Structure 1
């Protein structure tokens, strides 16, 4: 009887210890949905990496995966906007300052128009507008990159936003 009680207690403690870790992990069935979905995007590795690292993916359908990707797009655009603001506080040459100011306007459009439209469209079940909004975010990032006559200080950030926007648009396209 004591042995049975000991086994029960050990099992209970182990379940308690390991439960939080397993709750954040993506389960095997969910991994298959992520992989099947990401295979239909232009950047499989980017897609899988982002979705597997987000615990919301474990309970998400394709619409949920699209919303997660749009959230990541928002985070990347916000990070880029903050970086632009930091750079603009520095002592910059005219061309670089003009390029950064242009990029600030473009990323403001991403954050104030494209992202909210994409989220609302997905929540309302209208993926056509969500796809266009995700594509527009990528276009804005490309336009930002083109705002510089020489080297852009935002190349890495712009590429990241373009990559996530193309993956988000591809996932949304699956809902059409």
Structure 2
């Protein structure tokens, strides 16, 4: 009698590892993806890009709420905060555009839109150059998710 023993490894675990190994910072990529349980159910790298951009959009929305809170404080740096608010709105629009072109299979355009989110986060950071940035956690998250998302989208480009 011949018995076969199969060891099952979740496909998603393997997908995350394989996908992240192709990025510049595999540990950061894996940390980001494993922080969201939806990644464990992803069927392909495209699904991972959607998850990463969703995380970025969440951070942008949270950042905008923080900006609104900061603008109500006396002596708030309104010019800098309003500029960052515009950057965050651009991030949200870029993510919506990236999602749309991803759905249509245009991975290069998605990569470009996602890279734009990194640029917008950097522009916000520049507003606070030389001073404490009360939005640094949000801008770093947008920068990091944009970097990972664009690298994964780049893997999908034929």
Give the TM-score normalised by structure 2.
0.86
Distance across 1 between alignment mates of 2:156 and 2:52: 14
Which structure has the larger Rg?
Answer: 1
Structure 1: stretches of 5+ with no match in the other structure: 1-26
Deviation at 1:149, TM superposition (A): 4.7
Distance across 2 between alignment mates of 1:153 and 1:64: 32
Find out whether 1:42 has 2:24 as its counterpart: yes
Question: Following superposition of structure 1 onto structure 2, how do residues 25-104 of structure 1 map, counting pairs within 5 Å?
Answer: 28-57=10-39, 58-93=41-76, 96-104=77-85
Aligned 8 A contact 2:23 2:148 in 1: yes
Distance across 1 between alignment mates of 2:148 and 2:109: 15
Q: Which runs of 4+ in 1 moved over 4 A?
A: none
- Size of the alignment, in residue pairs? 147
**Closer, same or farther in 2 for the Cα pair 1:87/1:31, shift >3 Å?**
same
Distance across 2 between alignment mates of 1:169 and 1:68: 12
| Aligned counterpart for 2:106 among listed residues 120, 126, 138 | 126
Structure 2: stretches of 5+ with no match in the other structure: 1-8
Aligned 8 A contact 2:88 2:120 in 1: yes
TM-align CA RMSD: 1.5
